[in-house]
Amino acid sequence: MHEWDADTRVDAAGDGRFTARLGDRWGGAGGRPNGGYLVAFCLRALGEVLPHPDPLAVSAYYLLPGVVGPAVVDTEVVRRGRQVSTGEARLSCRDREVLRVVASFADLGAGGDGAAVLGRAPDLPPPDECVDVYGGLRLPGATVADRVELRGPEPFGWARGRATGTPSAEFWIRFADGRPADPAGMATLVDSVAPAVLELGHPVVSATVELSVHVHARPAPGWLAARAATRHVAGGHYEEDVELWDAGGRLVARSRQLAVLSAR
């Protein structure tokens, strides 16, 4: 069993409740469980109660930091539709709600009427010609960097001690143990990268307020090409957009998150 599947397991406890255990292998900077990792528990629980197989649109609201140890996920089916069903999930640690997710599920294998993509996948050298984007550097407590592999033409500027001043990056991404990406897994991948805002050169920590993920297709096997960028930093907050493109050149997922920015 792959790490993500083992570490995001949920067990039905009746009446829409699921038990879970948050591990320490998916920590963000500071050691708290990564936000995309927390979302996975909610999506796996909703996948058990909704009739459609794939998360399509996900909105996650972070209320408190997650805590390693036992947790529960309470679910509610909001609507069962023919093409799209919607549910809500609440993740709690130590009897305190830490995350609330509203998600719509669909069958992404059902196909649709045509497609038009007005963007382009990142133009990257093959993964085997790329290097670790962190240059071997690991932020304290960020164990998620060992679970998710990122490769690019060169290490991030901030990781080399020379921030570029441009908060954007393009790179390859995949689960480090070779787990194939799928719609639920991509909701973890989009939030598993160190913030692009680090390229502005400020030593910062951040906490996500809200994360939205739109999944467009089930990805083809292999590496995903990613593009991450921040365009606005204002009022102590910043947004980050992430795109994931599969080996067939399709945009398979995109996300936006709003985070609080503060000095270390």
Q: How far apart are CA 224 and CA 255, in angstroms?
A: 14
Structure tokens at 133: 């984007």
Residue 13, pLDDT above cutoff 70: yes
Confidence of residue 141 (pLDDT cuts 50, 70, 90): confident
Residue 152, pLDDT above cutoff 60: yes
- Domain with 75 in it: 3-108+124-263
Percent of the chain with pLDDT over 90: 84
In a domain, 133, yes or no: yes
Residue 262, pLDDT above cutoff 90: no
Q: Per-residue pLDDT tens for 92-113?
A: 999 999 999 999 999 998 776 5
Residue 123, pLDDT above cutoff 70: yes
Give how many domains the chain has, as a whole number.
1
In a domain, 113, yes or no: no
Which pLDDT value is given to residue 113?
57
Could you tell me the CATH number of the domain that includes residue 137? Answer: 2.40.160.210
In a domain, 174, yes or no: yes
The mean pLDDT value of the chain amounts to 93
Q: What is the CA radius of gyration of the chain?
A: 18
Which pLDDT value is given to residue 22?
97
In a domain, 117, yes or no: no
Instruction: Kindly state the average pLDDT of the residues 135-142.
Output: 83
Instruction: Kindly state the average pLDDT of the residues 160-186.
Output: 96
